[in-house]
Structures are given as structure tokens and as C-alpha cells.
């Protein structure tokens, strides 16, 4: 357990070791431990958001020397919750198989002309997926085609029995959709949303086939989602075509609402969003549970989330 710095509420490190890198490393490992994920040194550096490599290594050595964290086979975990490296190896093998299917799925997804962006999310994006887990996609489509595209994909998945619960070994779950015309992830953010913070910084881009302007969705150097409010301008379509798609969208939305199970239609706003800009079908939504578990674990190891931490205040470097 690290001593608390009464002036700032941060654990105090040894001489020459900044206290905030220590807190950030511990908070990152606490989050990963919830999912039995033991990161490598580089992964821990990138996702703890410690700016300098030297200060990161100094903080890591201090924590290792104090017995607060453990390193096994190049993977790090909290001493209070040690993780078996074999778990990550087994899940990595499952992820390799699932990515093969994800790549094939992206081939036909990009044949739909309105699809702008496809990314793998959640446990598969961390190469930390269980053999029985879904392949989770995050998909951005052209505005005015959101419900039509989602219904078309749902029909195809049902025809080929690739949806979760239909017997497929690696089921495909397309439960998060956004329009490219102004949807903002802040609309679904909860207080202290640590899961969304990590989720945004770990999207594996499978396909980015949008028109000019869609590159604003992803920071090319880090796969961090940015510009979620940047409107993408589209070429003008004939009035007749607009009227047809406007009608198609209404029909697709009405039909989808009838086909959704009751738990989707009645779920909380944070887990389910059904608008013309975003379709999010996460019921139940575990983010509150994950946040509370993370905060409790951080307090237990001496890195409480009582103040704004680097994990909660991150802003992408504009350069």
C-alpha cells in the first residue's frame, strides 16, 4: 500500500519519482484486472497516459520494488490481484481465430455503399477475448441510411446464422452504430465513465472506406476516436432519391422497433440509444458496475479516484 499525499490526495512516490505516473499506472492496472487482462510494458505505458518513458520506467520500478505490482513473462498485474499469463495466451489464440472472421465480415460490410467506418471493439480489440465471446463491431454509416443499413446487416446475419445465440462459434454482434453527421459519444457518457475512456482508445480499424472527411473519425497514430461531432459533407443527391431513402429509413426504423426484444425497448438510456444519429443496443449496460468496481479497487490499492486523474482528463494531442 502506498502512502497518501495529504496535500493532493495522490500516493507519494520516492525521491525523483513523480506521484501522478504511479497513480496512473495503478489505475490502469486496476481497470485491466477487472477483465483479467495483463498488459505488456508498452501497453501499460500507452494506456496509463504517462508522458515520458523515463518517468514511466521509474514509477514502474518503484512499484515493483515495493511489491505493489508483479511481472510474469513480461506481463504486469497488481500484487493484490495477480493474473496468470496463460489466461492471456489462451485468449490471444481465440482472438486470432475471431479476427480472421472479422476480416471476412468486413469484406462484405464494405460492399454496402453507405458504410463509412468499421472497427472491432471490446474484448477482441484487446486480443483478450474468450473462445465463446462475440465479435463486436462499431460501425459508422452515411447519415440518412442508419436504420436501413442496420436492418440490412441484421437480416444478412440472421440468414447465415451468425448472430449471438444462433449456434455460431464466433458470432458477430453489430450492436453499436453511428451516423457520420453529428453523433457524439458524450451523449452516452456516464459520470466517471472509465470504460468509455478506454473503449475510445482501443478501436481496431477493420475498414475505413468513407468519403473525404471521414478520416477525422480516427487518429491515424493511435486508433483513438476523435471528431465525434464532425459533420461529413456528402454530394447532393437527386430529390427523388432523397425522398425514397427518407421513406425507407422510416420503414426500417418502424420494423426494427417491432423486432427488438422487450429488454431493448425498455432499457435504460445509457445502455440503449435509438435515434437517427445513433443505435446502441447494450442491455444490460455494465458501465456503472465496472466504474464502481474500478473505483473500489483503486481505493484498495491506494490510488483512489477522488481527484481528476490522467485517465479521466485525457485530451488527444492535436499535433
Q: Are residues 110 and 251 both part of a single domain?
A: yes
Q: Are residues 71 and 105 both part of a single domain?
A: no
| Residue 10 counted as domain residue | no
Q: Give per-residue pLDDT as tens, 162-214.
A: 998 888 889 999 999 999 886 678 888 899 999 999 998 888 988 655 433 34
Locate all alpha helices (DSSP H) within the chain, ordered by sequence. 19-34, 41-48, 53-65, 85-109, 122-125, 146-159, 194-200, 239-259, 262-265, 287-300
Based on the structure, what is the number of domains in the chain? 2
Q: Are residues 143 and 51 both part of a single domain?
A: no
| Residue 303 counted as domain residue | no
Q: Are residues 23 and 48 both part of a single domain?
A: yes
Q: What is the structure's pLDDT at 81?
A: 95
Of 49, 256, 238, nearest to 146 (Cα)?
Answer: 256
Q: Are residues 30 and 179 both part of a single domain?
A: no
Q: Binning pLDDT at 50, 70 and 90, where does residue 257 land?
A: very high
| Residue 298 counted as domain residue | no
Contact 1, 298 (CB under 8 A): no
| Residue 306 counted as domain residue | no
Q: Are residues 79 and 101 both part of a single domain?
A: no
Q: Assign 116 to helix, strand or coil.
A: strand
Classify burial at 39, counting beta carbons within 10 Å of its beta carbon; exposed 0-12, middle 13-18, buried 19 or more: buried
Domain that holds residue 173: 90-286
Q: Are residues 31 and 124 both part of a single domain?
A: no
Rounded Cα distance between 20 and 164, Å, is 42
Q: Are residues 55 and 108 both part of a single domain?
A: no
| Cβ neighbours for 17, distance < 8 A, ≥ 6 positions apart | 55, 58, 59, 62
Q: Give per-residue pLDDT as tens, 110-169.
A: 889 899 889 999 999 999 999 999 999 999 999 999 999 999 999 999 999 999 888 888
Q: What is the CATH number of the domain that holds 63?
A: 1.10.10.10
Amino acid at each position: 500500500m502506498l502512502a497518501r499525499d495529504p496535500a493532493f490526495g495522490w500516493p507519494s512516490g520516492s525521491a525523483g519519482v513523480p506521484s501522478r505516473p504511479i497513480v496512473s499506472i495503478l489505475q490502469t492496472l486496476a481497470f485491466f484486472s477487472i477483465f483479467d487482462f495483463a498488459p505488456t510494458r508498452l501497453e501499460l505505458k500507452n494506456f496509463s497516459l504517462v508522458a515520458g518513458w523515463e518517468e514511466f520506467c521509474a514509477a514502474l520500478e518503484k512499484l515493483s520494488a515495493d511489491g505493489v505490482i508483479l511481472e510474469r513473462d513480461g506481463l504486469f498485474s497488481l500484487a493484490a490481484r495477480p493474473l496468470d499469463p496463460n489466461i492471456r495466451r489462451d485468449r490471444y489464440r481465440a482472438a486470432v481465430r475471431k479476427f480472421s472472421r472479422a476480416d471476412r465480415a468486413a469484406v462484405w460490410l464494405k460492399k454496402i455503399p453507405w458504410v463509412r467506418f468499421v472497427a472491432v471493439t471490446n474484448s477482441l480489440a484487446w486480443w483478450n477475448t474468450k473462445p465463446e465471446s462475440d465479435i463486436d463491431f462499431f460501425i459508422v454509416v452515411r447519415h440518412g441510411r442508419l436504420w436501413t443499413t442496420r436492418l440490412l446487416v441484421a437480416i444478412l446475419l440472421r440468414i447465415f446464422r451468425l448472430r449471438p445465440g444462433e449456434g455460431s462459434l464466433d458470432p458477430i454482434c453489430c450492436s453499436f452504430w453511428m451516423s457520420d453527421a453529428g453523433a457524439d459519444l458524450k451523449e452516452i457518457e456516464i459520470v466517471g465513465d472509465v470504460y468509455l475512456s478506454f473503449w475510445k482508445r482501443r478501436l481496431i480499424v477493420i475498414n475505413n472506406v468513407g468519403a473525404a472527411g471521414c478520416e477525422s473519425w480516427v487518429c491515424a497514430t493511435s486508433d483513438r476516436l476523435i471528431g465525434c461531432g464532425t459533420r461529413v459533407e456528402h454530394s447532393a443527391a437527386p430529390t427523388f432519391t432523397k425522398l425514397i431513402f427518407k421513406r425507407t429509413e422510416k420503414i426500417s426504423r418502424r420494423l426494427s422497433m417491432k423486432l427488438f426484444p422487450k429488454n431493448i425497448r425498455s432499457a435504460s438510456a445509457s445502455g440503449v440509444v435509438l435515434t437517427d444519429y445513433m443505435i446502441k443496443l447494450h442491455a444490460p449496460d455494465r458501465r456503472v458496475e465496472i466504474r464502481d468496481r474500478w473505483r473500489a479497487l483503486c481505493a484498495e490499492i491506494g490510488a483512489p479516484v477522488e481527484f481528476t486523474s490522467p485517465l479521466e482528463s485525457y485530451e488527444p494531442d492535436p499535433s
